[in-house]
Structure 1
């Protein structure tokens, strides 16, 4: 699955580089996830699991141990066959154990490794999901700045038209020099705002570029996303829910190991002993001894702790259930808050077009008054500023609504 994600990321990067002027919010999500260093842990976790399972499978291989002792023998000891009375002897002990049945320990150990791997991977999924909030803030921040820059350009165009008129009137003695100065002051203020937005945008672009590991410049077009209205019966699909389930599964397989510890272990035993020099027992001289047979072991210590282990497993699962319930409570609370924000923003947005239309009419009225010499320039400048603010507010409300909708999708896990 991760290879598929990587391939998708490479494809997105290729398409983005080929066009070099367009970026979407969804492609930003994918690129950010595949660029995040934490994603490298997927392969590391999988390889670790494979090695551990390989080690677990080796439990059924013959276990060989060899012990060599060169030492001084205390006490009475049979005489040596060679007639030597030396108390220094070499003793070699070799033992071979072959497990026939380990009570299910190997099988359970592999299940624990599988469940533990799932928990670790899901933890990474949870962390990667948090990247979406960062992408949202930067991406929609850039969209909002772009809308504000458009409105500044429109307002600057209106001021340019007026300053040309005022200069001509001033040249003909029909207006004051201060009228020209007033418009130039407004243009300088617009220029300051424009610089502020441009530098802020550059900062956002730099951070987003670093986050998705893709070159973005001032010419890049950021596509405005389209999303559907929140569904009142939307299902939460967050990776946290899978994490809690995987943690419960891990607790269950750990409990299986407690049962395994109650089982006896059966195997085949082979042992050999060599003494040098050998020892004489009557008419027979023995220097080697071998033993072959079945061995069975049963450690009953686990019986004493069995009841406590069951209670500990139950407590562990209860703790996970509480964590899940807390997560769902907080998530549903976030969903309700975000849904209320979306409804509020929609209602506010409904009036923006009407406000813009009225502000445009007011601006035209003051423009006509000023052109006819019936009104001061300051009234016209205020009207232009108010119309610009109306457009800016609408753009702000639109981007806020879009961001809220995408935040909603992030909260439920889509």
Structure 2
């Protein structure tokens, strides 16, 4: 029993731990699972099944029931004297049951089914493409939250340093080494830090709420966002879902061309009609009769004024348009990749200079720290340089997040 309880506690602990952490890939997977647009996959599948059944039903016998009653002003009479043939009644009645069966239509049904299947694949891929395009939003939100998280930690460190320095200054004021107002400057700076905490928490909450809506899962403000180590392969090969979409559109057009080519094919139907009426097929028998007709019907549109040919030309133009759209997409994507590559290189250069700036400011602050203890400078001078160091560290932090964001965007644009 104790072992079972221990296992349950361990599982709950692991689950709780997992829920307190979130990675960039988690967000990608969640948006692909929970975003409302994903429901269209099942809707499109159901729609395709119905379309397939509708087209396939053309192979089944078509049954029609008709009935009519008429009264006409005149009827046929036999102009033979003493023929002793009664004229037809002016009120006539007819009920028929007809059955039509498709025998041959030149593969038109199969071509229709191929068109519907191609359209279904295109629509499904369009949904995937739209969902993939959300990754850029995910990147921006995730790294923005990460920036607030890291800035908060940096502020915490700054706050602790200032609190420790405030105690030293208060001790110096108490022993008459420093001016009485020296501690007020540090206290004011701590109040400013408090305001910065409030601003960061508010910004983080807004970002997390937006991200939660996008990925379809509630994320707590206490959740730790893991810093991803984004790696990029700087190459021009693109593997975006849009390229698959363009290819499926071309396949859809090919299936439409095949359908158009079969529209003027010979069509053969068998039919049978059974009826009951007055008169029947024997127009000279003025009574209710049952009858039937069976036969086959051949239909061939011999000349359509080049309509079919023009339809194929129109479809061929659509294929050229898609080829052009593919070229434009590749061109624009490569332009975006080059921009992101330049952004990565630029920010990486900034990071190198940021580190040098921080080292220099740390040396200056160390000197000022000693001078403040001895009353050589005021607290205002120390706080100014301390703030400069914090801003330099914050800039470095921001650049490190930005370069990771640029790398993530590069991978997203490339389709990785």
Distance, in Å, in 1 between the alignment partners of 2:176 and 2:286 is 141
The answer as to whether partners of 1:16 and 1:23 remain within 8 angstroms in 2 is: no
Query: What is the aligned residue count?
Result: 399
Structure 2 alignment gaps of length 5 or more: 1-12
- Please give the per-residue CA displacement for 1:86-125, whole angstroms capped at 9, x wherever unaligned: 3211123332211111121110111011011111111111
Distance, in Å, in 2 between the alignment partners of 1:171 and 1:283 is 133
Corresponding residue of 1:143: 146
The answer as to whether partners of 1:359 and 1:387 remain within 8 angstroms in 2 is: yes
Corresponding residue of 1:205: 208
Label 1:77 to 1:136 Cα distance change in 2 as closer, same or farther (>3 A): farther
Aligned residue among 86, 90, 94 for 1:91: 94
Shift of 1:339: 0.5
The answer as to whether partners of 2:278 and 2:287 remain within 8 angstroms in 1 is: no
Select between 182-191 and 231-240 the one with higher mean Cα deviation.
231-240
Corresponding residue of 2:76: 76
Q: Report the 3-state secondary structure (helix = DSSP H, G, I; strand = E; otherwise coil) of the residue aligned with 1:291.
A: strand
Corresponding residue of 2:346: 344
Q: Report the 3-state secondary structure (helix = DSSP H, G, I; strand = E; otherwise coil) of the residue aligned with 2:306.
A: helix
Corresponding residue of 1:56: 55
Select between 404-413 and 380-389 the one with higher mean Cα deviation.
380-389
Distance, in Å, in 1 between the alignment partners of 2:115 and 2:285 is 58
Label 1:106 to 1:77 Cα distance change in 2 as closer, same or farther (>3 A): farther
The answer as to whether partners of 2:23 and 2:225 remain within 8 angstroms in 1 is: yes
The answer as to whether partners of 1:82 and 1:277 remain within 8 angstroms in 2 is: no
Distance, in Å, in 1 between the alignment partners of 2:44 and 2:36 is 14
Corresponding residue of 1:67: 66
- Please give the per-residue CA displacement for 1:346-376, whole angstroms capped at 9, x wherever unaligned: 1111222222222111111100111122223
- Please give the per-residue CA displacement for 1:290-332, whole angstroms capped at 9, x wherever unaligned: 3322221112354621221121011111111121111111111
* TM-score, normalising length: structure 2: 0.89
Distance, in Å, in 2 between the alignment partners of 1:150 and 1:280 is 101
Label 1:280 to 1:186 Cα distance change in 2 as closer, same or farther (>3 A): closer
Matches of residues 117-266 of structure 1 in structure 2 within 5 Å? 117-228=120-231, 230-266=232-268
Q: Report the 3-state secondary structure (helix = DSSP H, G, I; strand = E; otherwise coil) of the residue aligned with 1:75.
A: coil
Distance, in Å, in 2 between the alignment partners of 1:392 and 1:181 is 25
Corresponding residue of 2:333: 331
The answer as to whether partners of 1:115 and 1:246 remain within 8 angstroms in 2 is: yes
Shift of 1:82: 10
Corresponding residue of 1:35: 34
- Residue 320, structure 1, aligned to residue 319, structure 2: no
- Please give the per-residue CA displacement for 1:175-213, whole angstroms capped at 9, x wherever unaligned: 222211111111111111111111111111222222223
Distance, in Å, in 1 between the alignment partners of 2:264 and 2:41 is 35
Label 1:82 to 1:330 Cα distance change in 2 as closer, same or farther (>3 A): same
The answer as to whether partners of 1:163 and 1:183 remain within 8 angstroms in 2 is: yes
Distance, in Å, in 1 between the alignment partners of 2:119 and 2:179 is 81
Shift of 1:18: 6.0
The answer as to whether partners of 2:68 and 2:94 remain within 8 angstroms in 1 is: yes
Select between 265-274 and 330-339 the one with higher mean Cα deviation.
265-274
Distance, in Å, in 2 between the alignment partners of 1:225 and 1:370 is 41
What RMSD, in angstroms, separates the aligned Cα atoms of the two structures?
Answer: 2.4
Shift of 1:150: 1.8
- Residue 395, structure 1, aligned to residue 397, structure 2: yes
Structure 1 alignment gaps of length 5 or more: 1-13
Distance, in Å, in 1 between the alignment partners of 2:92 and 2:285 is 21
Select between 161-170 and 286-295 the one with higher mean Cα deviation.
286-295
Shift of 1:266: 1.1
